[in-house]
Structure 1
Amino acid sequence: MGNRGDIECWLTDMDGVLVHENHPVPGAAALLQQWRDEGKPYLVLTNNSIFTPRDLSARLKASGLDVPEDRIWTSALATADFLASQMPGGSAFVIGEAGITTALHEAGFIMTETNPDYVVIGETRNYSFEAITKAIRLIGSGSRFIVTNPDATGPSAEGPMPATGAVAALISKATGKEPYVVGKPNPMMFRSAMNKIGAHSENTGMIGDRMDTDIIAGIEAGLHTILVLTGISDQAEINRYPFRPDEILNSVADLVNAEPVESDAE
């Protein structure tokens, strides 16, 4: 996909790339500063749909990274953007937290339990059997089934926790209907992010730490893909997949003041 010198816009994953369990990855602050100094449009992406951009901006600031809320793109924002383009002023029954409810509200959606156009499942820590039952019945009677992100588990200090994909699977099993999932690895997430900053695929780079979500979606969206090894990928993990990123770097520190290089991921 061309070389790094042609990149005018950047999309970067958040967890495992810029932060690791609320600690900044060395080089992350410098890279963000470099993009600001060079006037490069960028967005920080996350599949987590719990938090609003304002919440995430505050959390990043607390961990030492300055990312304004308008530079953050979540699966919740991407979902609201997609639904607003499909059905402006539509209605939804939502299982989720502030990230998705705020995004849908700001996109002009009405929240209702009465014949909603969509049932939207986002990340939450407060699953209610009653709400899940309601979602199953509404989908059964014709509401369209939308899920913010496919992640089956999410990390916590004590170990993995069930995430959006796990609850969506429960609803799929009960309804016999598969959802449309907006977040990564759906390249829709990158397309909507590019639309937000006016970027084009041929001059946009994306940085991720997971082959199965970030890199595959980046390739499908036509981006220059950079895998960093600060998250969960190592060489053995990379070799399991039939596709390759354009570049493999140890961390985002390798992008700070780096001379553009030809792709070396072959």
Structure 2
Amino acid sequence: MKTLQDKKAILCDMDGVLYHGNRLLPGAKEFIEWIKKEKKKILFLTNSSDRTPVELQQKLRRLGIEVEPKNFYTSAIATAQFLKKQCPQGSVYIIGGAGLVHALYEAGFSVNDVNPNYVVIGETKDYDFDKVEKAINLVLAGAKLIGTNPDTKDRIGNGFTPGTGALIAPIEKVTGCQAYFLGKPNPFTMSQAMKKLNAKKEDTIIIGDRMDTDIIGGMETGIETVLLLSGVTTQSTLKQFAYHPDYIFQGLIDFVKFCTQEGETPNVFQYNRFSFIPLSG
């Protein structure tokens, strides 16, 4: 069994791991430096669908981190790839951001607000009653309902904002149709990410802050999981889940210290059958 330090590839969440909003979290720069120094493969696997890979690159650049667009895989891209396999050259009605519109356009889809094949919902601030009403009636007329990810809330600053799962809920409620969600932990999304990363399962870890997407997605993919308590999941909410991560760190800075063996040994925990057991650095 390979240790964390020996893993060759990393799937990594972004919000709650690298940053909160426009604030870089401790250890983010050191993490990227370690990745580059050790020549690890890295793919930022995000359930965000409102930005394109280039826009995500620019966001990280503004925060002082340089990453290539090829190192991002968004739920918008996963959604577009899935729908392309299901209905090539189809049409969509979209409630979502520029990243989702761009991904669907690149996949060959046209926008249609009369009789689309799909109604696709992603996180967006451009959300109003008229658009929801339109989406409801299109679904009732036969369009399939798709969500870019199942997240019900996303962190923003010190609080939260409604996620795709919350934005799509009124449409599900009125139509009686259950949406199909892409993004993490959807098996299609995870398998496409692993294919893009081009790494073996035993050589890969996933790092994230959410039990219901990052950790279960990694578990069901067969890769080791690292939970950071710097985002959505806390030590108290962790108890609500019937499954657990392989490792837990307070934040990315502790993960980096553990992997580089630099500075004071951080508190890191690994699960045994019954409880957490501390690991020495």
TM-score normalized with structure 1 length: 0.90
Rounded to whole Å, the distance in 2 between the matches of 1:234 and 1:159 is 14
Query: 2:213 is matched with which residue?
Result: 213
Matches within 5 A, 1:52-131: 52-131=52-131
Q: How many residues align?
A: 266
Q: Tell me the alpha carbon deviations over residues 29-78 of structure 1, each in whole angstroms, 9 at most, x when there is no partner.
A: 12212222333221112212111111111111111222222211211111
Shift of 1:85: 2.1
Q: Tell me the alpha carbon deviations over residues 202-252 of structure 1, each in whole angstroms, 9 at most, x when there is no partner.
A: 321100112222111211121110011222333322222221111112222
1:265 and 2:271 aligned = yes
Query: 2:188 is matched with which residue?
Result: 188
Identical aligned residues as a percent: 43
Q: Which amino acid in the other structure matches residue 51 of structure 2?
A: F
Rounded to whole Å, the distance in 1 between the matches of 2:258 and 2:159 is 36
Q: Tell me the alpha carbon deviations over residues 3-35 of structure 1, each in whole angstroms, 9 at most, x when there is no partner.
A: 425522111110111112322222221221222
Query: 1:4 is matched with which residue?
Result: 4
Query: 1:203 is matched with which residue?
Result: 203
The 3 A distance-change label for structure 1 pair 160 and 17 is closer
- Please tell me whether the aligned partners of residues 150 and 164 of structure 2 are also in contact (alpha carbons under 8 angstroms): yes
Structure 1 unpaired stretches of 5+: none
- Please tell me whether the aligned partners of residues 18 and 28 of structure 1 are also in contact (alpha carbons under 8 angstroms): yes
Rounded to whole Å, the distance in 2 between the matches of 1:157 and 1:229 is 16
Structure 2 unpaired stretches of 5+: 262-267, 273-281
- SS of match in other structure, 1:160: strand
Rounded to whole Å, the distance in 1 between the matches of 2:133 and 2:16 is 35
> Which moves more between the two structures, 248-257 or 112-121?
248-257
- SS of match in other structure, 1:155: strand
Matches within 5 A, 1:145-160: 145-157=145-157, 159-160=159-160
- Please tell me whether the aligned partners of residues 187 and 218 of structure 1 are also in contact (alpha carbons under 8 angstroms): no
Give the root-mean-square deviation of aligned CA atoms.
2.3
Higher relative contact order by CA 8 Å / sep ≥ 6: 1 or 2? 1
Rounded to whole Å, the distance in 2 between the matches of 1:186 and 1:260 is 32
Rounded to whole Å, the distance in 1 between the matches of 2:33 and 2:260 is 17
The 3 A distance-change label for structure 1 pair 221 and 253 is same
Query: 1:250 is matched with which residue?
Result: 250
Query: 1:14 is matched with which residue?
Result: 14
Query: 1:39 is matched with which residue?
Result: 39
Q: Which amino acid in the other structure matches residue 195 of structure 1?
A: K
- SS of match in other structure, 1:264: strand
Shift of 1:176: 0.6
Rounded to whole Å, the distance in 1 between the matches of 2:176 and 2:133 is 14
Rounded to whole Å, the distance in 2 between the matches of 1:115 and 1:227 is 43
Rounded to whole Å, the distance in 2 between the matches of 1:41 and 1:31 is 13
Rounded to whole Å, the distance in 2 between the matches of 1:135 and 1:172 is 10
Q: Tell me the alpha carbon deviations over residues 132-163 of structure 1, each in whole angstroms, 9 at most, x when there is no partner.
A: 22211221122111011122233334843333
- Please tell me whether the aligned partners of residues 12 and 206 of structure 2 are also in contact (alpha carbons under 8 angstroms): yes
Q: Which amino acid in the other structure matches residue 152 of structure 1?
A: T
Q: Tell me the alpha carbon deviations over residues 67-103 of structure 1, each in whole angstroms, 9 at most, x when there is no partner.
A: 2222112111111121112222222111111010001
Shift of 1:259: 4.8
Rounded to whole Å, the distance in 1 between the matches of 2:156 and 2:248 is 27
Rounded to whole Å, the distance in 1 between the matches of 2:79 and 2:46 is 12
The 3 A distance-change label for structure 1 pair 166 and 250 is closer
